[in-house]
Amino acid sequence: MTTRAGTGRRDRGAPIAMPTTTGVLASRGDDNRATRQRGRDDDQDRPFVRRDEYGAPPPLGIRRKHGHGWRERCLQEPDGHGLVPPRGMRVLVVDDYPGAADVSCILLRMLGHEALPATTGAEALSQAALFDPEVIVLDLGLPDQTGYDVARTLRERPGRRPFIAAMTGSTSDDPARSLAAGIDLHVTKPATVENLTRILDAARRQLGT
């Protein structure tokens, strides 16, 4: 800082350039455009939920790869690369604990299937007649009748023969009794994603879907 001769005033140097209103708005506009672009880019990796004809969203990997155009783009992909979403199955979950049945249904819907719960043998038989399930996840210990009785009654009905998987709390169930009742597979509780996937894979192989 210097003093001008004869004036006694100090020279404070060049004035600081203040941003103009137009410059600030332009800068904010650029920031907003960049933010919107980042949002569009992020949407491609964000799980996108669109219900298919079975009431369930497509697989998560499909949504992440294709974003909002997952259906149209998947139809153009070759089946050999695993990008075409498999057809969802109709699954009836029978468990005497309503919370357990609901959780299993939620997991199945997340896997891309349509699922309905039932908590008694009578309700299971009624739901099966209306819902026409391809797969039944059946608890053997029901309050009104055994799962064996439910399976036997279902096998005696005309029409579709569903794949029946017994969800049991023990590995000591009698295989001969299960075979006689028409049970296709035994899976030990709990109903985890891995166990449900195992049931669905076995059902696809047997039903040829």
Cα separation of the two ends of the chain: 86
Using pLDDT thresholds of 50, 70 and 90, give the confidence band for residue 75: very low
pLDDT of residue 38: 54
pLDDT of residue 99: 96
Instruction: Indicate if the pLDDT at residue 4 is higher than 60.
Output: no
Using pLDDT thresholds of 50, 70 and 90, give the confidence band for residue 130: very high
The CATH topology of domain 90-207 is: Rossmann fold (3.40.50)
14-18, 76-80, 127-131 — which is least confidently predicted? Answer: 76-80
Q: Are strands 163-168 and 185-188 parallel, antiparallel or unpaired?
A: parallel
CB neighbour list of residue 67: distance below 8 Å, 6 or more residues apart: 43, 44, 48
Instruction: Say how far residue 155 (Cα) sits from the centre of its chain.
Output: 30
pLDDT of residue 196: 96
Rounded to whole angstroms, the maximal C-alpha distance in the chain is 117
Using pLDDT thresholds of 50, 70 and 90, give the confidence band for residue 34: low
Using pLDDT thresholds of 50, 70 and 90, give the confidence band for residue 15: low
- Please state the rounded mean pLDDT for residues 123-145: 96
Domain spans of the chain? Answer: 26-81, 90-207
42-59 pLDDT tens trace: 444 443 334 443 344 444
